[in-house]
Amino acid sequence: MPHIIVKLGSGRDESKKAELAQAISDTVVAVLACETKVVSIAIDDVDPADWPEKVFVPHIAGNLARLYKKPGYGTL
């Protein structure tokens, strides 16, 4: 474990998503000193028009105390 879910504005190709997942996995393995076999990563494509309703409000604005990296774009 861990399992990481990335919510990403849609439009990136599969190779970019695979590259991102590999980079995240490599970092998790290095920082947490765990084996790569315990890391799983999912990517949810979100239409940018749906971002406020599907991502910002429930996952960002509603969880500010839990965010270790906050977005720089402020309130939507």
Structural domains in the chain, CATH included, are: 3-66 (3.30.429.10)
pLDDT of residue 43: 98
The strand pairing partners of 45, in sequence order, are: 8
CA-nearest of 42, 39, 37 to 25 is 39
CB atoms within 10 A of CB 60: 19
Mean pLDDT of 38-51: 98
Report the alpha-carbon distance of residue 64 to residue 51 in Å, rounded. Answer: 16
pLDDT above 90 for 76: no
pLDDT digits (tens, 9 = 90+) for 7-42: 999 999 999 999 999 999 999 999 999 999 999 999
- pTM for the model: 0.90
* Mean pLDDT of the residues in the chain: 96
Cα separation of 25 and 38, whole Å? 10
